[in-house]
Amino acid sequence: MELIKTCSLEDHKEIQANLYCSQCRINMCKKCENIHNALFKNHYTYNISPNKEEIFTGFCQENNHHIELKYFCKNHNLLCCAACIAKINKIGDGQHKDCDVCIIQDIKEDKKNKLKNNIIILEKLNEKLKDSTNELNTLFNKIDKDKEN
């Protein structure tokens, strides 16, 4: 199920957003976009499209959170903000109430090392694939020569 982003302006909360500002931490409809861009020419904005994957902004994408992601749910492999954590700790509420949650910085090095190891494994597999492809090409060339004879 795809979550459609709506404009952060209270008067436009029913209008679909098409832009996100990482400095203001708001979603904007076309009308708000024009005003925002006139006022804040140096802000970084990103297009929001239901057909494109989300651009990682570092901020929670839950409705009305717009808070920096600082936590990680190990059970769901998911980044969380302080508001998500508050939901987690409510008894009987929130999908993470029984989960192992930690601060992102605590697992940063571990994830970075796992990623480096995965890259090494993929590079080795890529080399093996190249070797196998070369062997197959050699075999096909030999078969073609044998066929001609």
For residue range 9-29, list pLDDT tens digits in order.
999 989 988 888 878 888 899
Q: What is the pLDDT of residues 39-56, one digit of tens each?
A: 998 887 878 766 555 556
Higher per-residue pLDDT: 97 or 33: 33
In the beta sheet, which residues pair with residue 102? 72
Neighbours of 15 (CB within 10 A): 16
Q: What pTM did the predictor assign?
A: 0.42
Q: Is 124 helix (H, G, I), strand (E, B) or coil?
A: helix
d(CA 148, CA 123): 38
Place of tokens 């969380």: 80
Where along the chain do its domains lie?
A: 1-57
CATH class name, domain 1-57: alpha beta
